[in-house]
Chain A
Amino acid sequence: MSHILSWASKVNSLPFVNLISPNASRMYNSEEKSGYLKTQKLAMKCASEIAALIQEGWTENYTATLMETWLRDNGVKTFFHKPFVWWGDRTRFNGVKTYWDYLPSQRRIVENEIFILDVAPILDGYVADIGFSGCLGDHPGYDQGINFLSRLRHDLPILASSIQSKSNLWSTIDNLMKDAGYINIHATYPFGVLGHRLHKNVGSLEASFIHFGWQSYWELLSRGLFGQLLNKDFAGDLRGLWAIEPHIGGDDFGLKFEEILVVEDERAYWLDDAPCFHQKRQNVSGRVQCPN
């Protein structure tokens, strides 16, 4: 089975459909990259501003609604996926058994809990998919986890450009997480993805199914799906734009970041130099701390 999936991951476009869904394994020009960057900056700003407003007692659902409102107010009309929000032990997917369990719930956040905000808006056709972690107070695992993710963020472009067999990237990240004493939570995502490709969308019609816009199904499926997903069976060409989302788990918490990695012939780099993907509140009703 693994061999079949590895073979399928080398397919980046499908006959006939490739006229409207061209191969995404390519170099992107500066105009395209600035379009993706603009969307990513907007999504990060949304996450950091909403994170700064979160109060004890807010539910995941309410926060997701405010994130969506914030983005729509800023010109977003459609979503690759609508906001996901997880509080406390749900950040490591405790209690998540079906796909519906990933969706924002009625759970209320309490002091000293970790949270994750994850949203993928489409602006002028360009998609960004971001993940943002935070803590409403103090949690014993938070600082150490963020330090690990920050180091991983620093190393990831180097790994992506230096690893000979691209299938090793997933395994290398997996090993780094386990060596540091964390569980690999992204292994439990649908298809176990560390990341997925991003594509420019042509349609602005709004329709979604289980939180994902039709654009996400179309853009991935119309290119053969497996070449678009960076999971442990991936053996294809890594060139292109990827939303990379390492997600670690501790005893009662999870932490992640997600942003766009550009992989070119000779190098790989984050599309944005230094976005702040995490935010810690000094106290529940106090100001936020953003070290970057």
Chain B
Amino acid sequence: MLNKSNPSKSNANASRSDIETDLDAYLVSRTIRGLKTSWIEFSNSDTSKLEAPIVMFCHGFPDGPEAWSAQLEFFKEKFHIVAPYVRGCIHSEPASSVERYSEDSILLDHLEILQHVDPSGMRTVNVIGHDLGVVHALNLTRALGARMGKLIVINGTDTNMFSERVKNTAQMRKSWYMGLMQIPLLPELMVQYAPRSCSWIANEIGRLPQHLRQQDSKLFAKKTLGPLNQYRAFASLVLKPKKTKSVEKRIDRPVLILWGRDDGFLEPPTTAEWELVVAKPVIRILEGGHWVHREASDTVNPIILDFLLDSRTQPLA
């Protein structure tokens, strides 16, 4: 996949285990606040690795950095790629408490990863998030200040936005499983003893094409069981009375929202809801499901690249 001699080679039909093996070659691990934390990091950029702008990929649930394989391949020529494994996911050690999966904890993980990647703290960081990774991507955008470049959102929302969506009947019909996830031990037992069925359900709802589906049910279980508490932390935040997040003012960075129209998990976005969070959101609805960046990478990647390189949408000074 990451073969430097053949960068245009498509990954669409590569087996999942091949991709995992390939990514392992670029695996970096550090102990962050007592827990092993890992990420994928590489760059084939012509410019020095230490000068290329950073693109940080925040994956969703239940996913890992391999969900970005088509993007990692595509963007490695121009950018310094960083794709963290969220807490509990495969190479990032799980924690015993749900609090360690909170959005603030994961934000600190990501900020510390960036300190390892860019000790100078001077380089521009662009962030791309999908699904639950959008929560982390938005938090990073707010925290990075002047270092933040551009944000790309793919089929995901933040916690406050989702709190509002809870009032939407159509959204709640799509989020029936969230209550199930809160029951202690039940989701763990389901994933442990019926990983194939759970994987099938998730892929069916998300409308993931057959050829992209996870074949290795053990790997699916590993990507699901560890980060389950992240999901619980997210759901409990959404259901709590709205907490004022003091750092939150509207994001003034350029933000592109890409959305697979046939997402079985999330209702399509509205400009109104995004304008509460982002000063000037640009929304593009695409053909595809929840994992539109995987099934339509040939469409999604050039859109993202144009957005990242477009001088008209450079970050405000």
Which A residues contact B (CB, under 8 angstroms)? 49, 52-53, 55-62, 65-66, 69-70, 72-75, 106, 284-287
Q: Which of B100, B122, B146, B246 has the largest count of A CB atoms less than 10 A from its CB?
A: B246
Complex CA gap A216/B100 in Å reads 26
Contacts of B111 in A (CB 8 A): 53
Counting chain A CB atoms within 10 Å of each CB, the highest count among B102, B119, B122, B145 belongs to: B145
- Hey, which chain A residues are within 8 Å of B121, CB to CB? 52, 285-287
**A56–B34 contact, CB under 8 A?**
no
Whether A57 touches B247, Cβ cut-off 8 Å, given contacts A284-B145, A286-B121, is yes
Residues of the B chain whose Cβ atoms lie less than 8 Å from the Cβ of A70: 33, 108
A239 to B107, CA, bound (A): 43
Given A73-B33, A74-B33, is A59 in contact with B246 using a C-beta cutoff of 8 Å?
yes
| Cβ of B105 under 8 Å from chain A | yes
B33 and A287 form a contact (CB under 8 A): no
Report yes or no: B107 in contact with A66, Cβ–Cβ below 8 A.
Answer: yes
- How close is B206's CB to chain A, nearest CB, in angstroms? 31
Report whether B104 and A65 are in contact in the complex, using a CB–CB cutoff of 8 Å. Answer: yes
Q: Are the C-beta atoms of A62 and B246 separated by less than 8 Å?
A: yes
Residues of A within 8 Å of B34, CB to CB, are 73-75
Q: Which of B108, B143, B146, B246 contacts A285 (CB 8 A)?
A: B146
Does B201 touch A at the CB level, under 8 Å?
A: no
Task: List chain A residues, Cβ under 8 A from B119.
Answer: 287
Closest-CB distance, B230 to chain A (whole angstroms): 14
Given contacts A53-B143, A66-B107, list 12 more A-B pairs with CB under 8 A: A55-B143, A55-B145, A57-B247, A59-B247, A60-B246, A61-B246, A62-B245, A69-B104, A74-B33, A106-B246, A285-B145, A287-B122
Closest to A50 in B: B108
Residues of B within 8 A of A (CB): 33-34, 99-100, 102, 104-105, 107-108, 111-112, 115, 119-122, 143-147, 245-247, 249
CB distance from A236 to the nearest CB of B (A): 40
Cα–Cα distance between A59 and B143 once the two chains are bound (Å): 10
Would you give the shortest CB distance from A201 to chain B, in whole angstroms? Answer: 21
- Contact present for A55 and B102 (CB under 8 Å): no
Bound complex: CA A49 to CA B115 (Å): 10
Closest chain B residue to A55, Cβ basis: B145
Which residues does chain B contribute within 8 Å of A49, judged by CB atoms? Answer: 112
**Distance to closest chain B CB from A100 (angstroms):** 16
B146→A284 contact, CB < 8 A: yes
Write the chain B residue with the least CB distance to A57.
B145
Contacts of B146 in A (CB 8 A): 55-56, 284-285
A69 to B247, CA, bound (A): 15
Q: B143 touching A58 by the CB < 8 A rule?
A: yes
| Residue of B with least CB distance to A73 | B33
Nearest-neighbor residue (CB-CB) of A70 within chain B: B108
**B246 cross-chain contacts in A, Cβ below 8 A:** 59-62, 65, 106
CB distance from A185 to the nearest CB of B (A): 24
The answer for the CA separation of A181 and B19 in the assembled complex, in Å, is 65
Least Cβ–Cβ distance between A146 and chain B, in angstroms: 21
Complex Cα distance, B245 from A284, in Å, reads 23
* CB <8 Å contact, A73 and B145: no
Q: In the complex, are the beta carbons of B100 and A73 less than 8 A apart?
A: yes
The closest CB in chain A to the CB of B97 belongs to: A72
Query: How far apart are A90's CB and chain B's nearest CB, in angstroms?
Result: 14
**Complex Cα gap A70–B146 (Å):** 23
A287 touches B145 (CB 8 A): no
Q: Which residues of B contact A287 (CB under 8 A)?
A: 119-122
* Most chain A beta-carbon neighbours within 10 Å: one of B99, B119, B122, B146: B146
**Bound Cα distance from A53 to B145, whole angstroms:** 10
- A66-B108 in contact (CB<8A): yes
| Distance A14 CA – B210 CA, assembled complex (angstroms) | 74
Q: Which residues of the other chain, A, contact B108 by a CB distance below 8 angstroms?
A: 66, 69-70, 73
Sampled A-B contacts (18; CB under 8 Å): A49-B112, A52-B115, A55-B143, A55-B144, A55-B147, A57-B249, A58-B143, A59-B247, A62-B245, A66-B104, A69-B105, A70-B108, A72-B99, A73-B100, A73-B105, A75-B34, A285-B121, A287-B120
Interchain CA distance A58-B245 in the complex, whole Å:
11
Cβ–Cβ < 8 Å partners of B112 in chain A: 49
Contact of B102 among A57, A58, A69, A284 (CB under 8 A): A69
Q: Most B CB atoms within 10 A — which of A55, A60, A70, A75?
A: A55
Residue of B33, B120, B249 with highest tally of chain A CB at under 10 A: B33
Min distance, Cβ B310 to any Cβ of chain A, angstroms? 22
Residues from chain B with a CB closer than 8 A to the CB of A74 are 33-34
Chain B nearest Cβ from A41, distance in angstroms: 14
The distance from the CB of A243 to the nearest CB of chain B, in whole angstroms, is 24
Nearest 8 CB-CB pairings of A with B:
A55-B145, A61-B246, A62-B247, A59-B246, A69-B104, A73-B33, A285-B146, A62-B246
CA–CA, A7 and B250, complex, Å: 56
Q: Determine the chain A residues whose CB is within 8 A of the CB of B107 once the complex forms.
A: 66
Interfacial chain B residues near A57, Cβ < 8 Å? 145, 247, 249
A286 touches B120 (CB 8 A): yes
Question: Which A residues lie within 8 Å of B245 (CB)?
Answer: 62
> Which of A69, A72, A73, A287 is the most central at the interface, judged by chain B CB atoms within 10 Å of its CB?
A73
Separation in Å of the B36 CB from the closest CB of chain A? 14
